[in-house]
Structure 1
Amino acid sequence: QAVSSFLNDNSSLDYAADDILIAGGARPLIYATFKALVDPSDNVLFPVPSWNNNHYCHLAEANQIFVETKAENNFMPTAAELKPHISTASLIALCSPLNPTGTAFTKDGLKEICELVIEENKKRGAGEKPLYILYDQIYWALTYGETKHYDPVSLFPELKDYTIFVDGLSKAFAGTGVRVGWAFGPRFIIDKMKSILGHVGAWAPKAEQVATAKYLSSQEVYQPYLTNFRIQLQQRLDAYYDGFISLKKEGFNVDAIAPQAAIYLTVKLNLIGKTTEEGKKLATTPDITKYILDDGKIALVPFSAFGASEDSVWYRLSVGTTSMPDIDGLISNLRNSLMKLS
């Protein structure tokens, strides 16, 4: 009931308590969504880079169909990229704001994808499985500047019958150790997911559920927290972004996409072909990753870890464990490492 009220208070989403499933974080909810909706050999469509969809396809014995997104679209999928695969898919797995990129759907971008789903479901016969959307919005409360969060059901209420949302406490409220997540969607699907997780044993601990319910019922507590948290995260993201753009202006082959949401910054380190002081040539993305870690003491995760091409030189930079006083020093370390290359 607390989650239902939280959704009503902070969005245009209206879901009764019986339409909501509480579990031990978002992961079991994503698993339950796949198991409830996807039969073996069904096609699941998702963009890359993205978080763990390939593994959930494996667990569900599904065929994964992925489209690799582009920097010019902030690594968010477009309707044009998804359209060729829509007719054979049972599920589209989307995430906004997106891990690993820290970017989000524009209103028009998401609308065009939703229109594809609506059109496809009108084509399917009464006995055919509809096309569903898994919409992971666990970072939705962390948007910055002019970025706004959009979701399929708010844009098109008729998609309420075909959309399963995944959300939770861990990201926006920095409660990674508090294992409370929630999914909401069509009641008959949520009921199936309850049955699956009942056998898996993935319920959130009762004490954490009670505490979360009390917290989410206290706007006077969580709203100031979220406001302050967003300010802190945006300061860190902006500082890293400014640092990378400064390095770019200095002539180094690096780049970054302006931060929009979540706790991540998308950065580019195109150092293929460079040679270290020790004479080692950086021939692959793993070579770059290791050099920046060993020499610059900076840990970045390549987009290839999230399903993108092995030769992608784009990375996820997380600000979750950094602080403002650290950032100038880390950018300086990176500059020194870049200067050593020839």
Structure 2
Amino acid sequence: MSAASPHPDPSIRPADRRVSARIGAIAESATLAVDAKAKALKAAGRPVIGFGAGEPDFPTPGYIVDAAVAACRDPRNHRYTPAGGLPELKAAIAAKTLRDSGWAVDASQVLVTNGGKQAIYEAFAAILDPGDEVIVPAPYWTTYPESIQLAGGVSVEVVADETTGYKVTVEQLEAARTENTKVLLFVSPSNPTGAVYTRAEVEAVGRWAAEHGLWVLTDEIYEHLVYGDAEFVSLPVAVPELVGKCIVVNGVAKTYAMTGWRVGWVIGPQDVIKAATNLQSHATSNVSNVAQVAALAAVSGDLAAVDEMKVAFDRRRRTIVRMLNEIPGVVCPEPEGAFYVYPSVKALLGKEIRGRRPATSAELAGLILDEVEVAVVPGEAFGTPGYLRLSYALGDDDLVEGVARMQKLLGEAQD
């Protein structure tokens, strides 16, 4: 989370404050910052390999692009449409949710948003009052605590590490619960770790939340990216008694290689969806109609495209885990979902590497970029210093070359 205070200095006149304390306290997205720096260096002619952004390297499937091209020519899409989403897309999202996770919802329970980030913020904004606490398992995606803070809530972090596969226990959650706890954030498969909770673990967490009357916000955007024997389990399906206090966020970005199209959604109780829709009606109005039509083609179609991508991701997953674990001082658990690895580099901190002694994972990430032109995201961005996050959603050749550069550099570490 950011270091800035959300409370204004009372000694400064309001007219003299250039940026509000609320917005000034928001940290830049670390993952996007790393990706932007890598792309800038690459544009300048440097042979940078970027493991920063969680973005499939595949093009959006052709049939989805074709639907968008046709939508551009349809005058109906040149006008305002309902703020909460095209009715046909909301109905298709409801049908897709039943098909993919087994949860039967009505179109009135769906809000179409400008990507998953808007879905997350609007969901928190709809249910949080100032001071409400949200239990946030860490490592966490960088946007979660910032959205909670912007919505007036307070993040309470519960940390898991590589010894537990980056999964928190019910006992840890209970230890973090207070009379101010309102929401549990639950993410499986996880960004940044790739952790996937088993069905029994999902049920245990869900029953605990239901027992204490908590809301749960669960992010299912990596639902289709699980490997081996791992299984995606939707929380409201596994624990039906949570349905009245469960909010699901999702989107087309990862499943269909549509990160730039910016279409996500929120599914939840009708009163919450209505409140979030009211907020969106003033913030952005409707999502781009062309992007919504593209998303309609995506969610209405089959999963052949993601199945093809998953084969490549699985291959890259096994390669990157093997290569990282060959580096002395690096411990990289094998992720079961998403397209990230989250290796521990704690054993390398303080060691000399090319005349420098990085004391933090942020400093180590900077050294890796400076010395071998490989961009990774430090664990500080995800609430757990001492780790690095690497996305393996990039080409096989770049992946091997990038990790080989890291192997050579980090292999030079000495006391």
Instruction: Give the letter aligned to residue 81 of structure 1.
Output: Q
Alignment deviations for residues 134-169 of structure 1 (CA, whole Å, 9 cap, x no partner) = 001111111111111112211111111010000001
Please identify, of 233-242 and 327-336, the stretch whose mean Cα deviation from structure 2 is larger: 327-336
Contact 2:188 2:197 (8 Å CA) reproduced: yes
Alignment deviations for residues 195-250 of structure 1 (CA, whole Å, 9 cap, x no partner) = 1111111532112112221332222xxx2111101001111111101112233xxx
Equivalent of residue 208 in structure 2, options 102, 116, 133 = 116
Equivalent of residue 381 in structure 2, options 299, 302, 305 = 305
Instruction: Give the letter aligned to residue 227 of structure 1.
Output: D
* 1:241 paired to 2:318: no
Instruction: Give the letter aligned to residue 138 of structure 1.
Output: I
* 1:168 paired to 2:251: yes
Number of aligned positions between the proteins: 321
* 1:28 paired to 2:108: no
The match for 2:222 is: 139
Contact 1:296 1:336 (8 Å CA) reproduced: no
4+ residue runs of structure 1 moved beyond 4 angstroms? Answer: none
Instruction: Give the letter aligned to residue 198 of structure 1.
Output: S
**Aligned in 2, Cα 1:210/1:326: closer, same or farther, shift over 3 Å?**
closer
The match for 1:184 is: 267
Contact 1:49 1:304 (8 Å CA) reproduced: no
Instruction: Give the letter aligned to residue 228 of structure 1.
Output: E
In structure 1, distance between residues paired with 2:301 and 2:402:
38
Alignment deviations for residues 154-186 of structure 1 (CA, whole Å, 9 cap, x no partner) = 111111101000000111211011111111111
The match for 1:63 is: 154
Percent of pairs with identical residues: 26
Q: Structure 1: which 5+ residue stretches go unaligned?
A: 122-130
In structure 2, distance between residues paired with 1:21 and 1:97:
22
In structure 2, distance between residues paired with 1:272 and 1:95:
29
Instruction: Give the letter aligned to residue 111 of structure 1.
Output: E
* 1:4 paired to 2:94: yes
In structure 2, distance between residues paired with 1:211 and 1:288:
41
In structure 1, distance between residues paired with 2:404 and 2:273:
50
Instruction: Give the letter aligned to residue 205 of structure 1.
Output: S
Contact 1:24 1:202 (8 Å CA) reproduced: no
- State the TM-score, normalized to the length of structure 1: 0.90
Contact 2:392 2:399 (8 Å CA) reproduced: no
In structure 2, distance between residues paired with 1:332 and 1:29:
38
Alignment deviations for residues 302-335 of structure 1 (CA, whole Å, 9 cap, x no partner) = 2211122xxx321111122x21122332232122
The match for 1:196 is: 279
In structure 1, distance between residues paired with 2:284 and 2:407:
49
Contact 1:100 1:303 (8 Å CA) reproduced: no
Equivalent of residue 391 in structure 2, options 313, 318, 321 = 318
In structure 2, distance between residues paired with 1:193 and 1:79:
30
In structure 2, distance between residues paired with 1:19 and 1:99:
25
In structure 1, distance between residues paired with 2:285 and 2:259:
16
The match for 1:127 is: none
Equivalent of residue 73 in structure 1, options 164, 189, 198 = 164
Contact 2:115 2:263 (8 Å CA) reproduced: yes
Contact 2:361 2:388 (8 Å CA) reproduced: no
Please identify, of 41-50 and 200-209, the stretch whose mean Cα deviation from structure 2 is larger: 200-209
The match for 1:205 is: 288
In structure 2, distance between residues paired with 1:49 and 1:305:
9
The alpha carbon displacement at 1:98 in A equals 0.9
Please identify, of 19-28 and 286-295, the stretch whose mean Cα deviation from structure 2 is larger: 286-295
SS in 2 for 1:254: coil
Contact 2:101 2:234 (8 Å CA) reproduced: no
In structure 2, distance between residues paired with 1:256 and 1:11:
30
The alpha carbon displacement at 1:87 in A equals 4.2
- Residues 86-125 of structure 1: matches in 2 within 5 Å? 86-88=177-179, 89-121=181-213
Aligned-residue CA RMSD (Å): 1.5
Instruction: Give the letter aligned to residue 339 of structure 1.
Output: G
* 1:227 paired to 2:319: no
Instruction: Give the letter aligned to residue 137 of structure 1.
Output: E
In structure 2, distance between residues paired with 1:63 and 1:253:
35
The match for 2:361 is: 285
Contact 1:238 1:259 (8 Å CA) reproduced: no
**Aligned in 2, Cα 1:177/1:184: closer, same or farther, shift over 3 Å?**
same
**Aligned in 2, Cα 1:85/1:313: closer, same or farther, shift over 3 Å?**
closer
**Aligned in 2, Cα 1:286/1:218: closer, same or farther, shift over 3 Å?**
closer
In structure 1, distance between residues paired with 2:354 and 2:262:
46
In structure 2, distance between residues paired with 1:70 and 1:118:
26
Equivalent of residue 344 in structure 2, options 268, 272, 275 = 268
- State the TM-score, normalized to the length of structure 2: 0.74
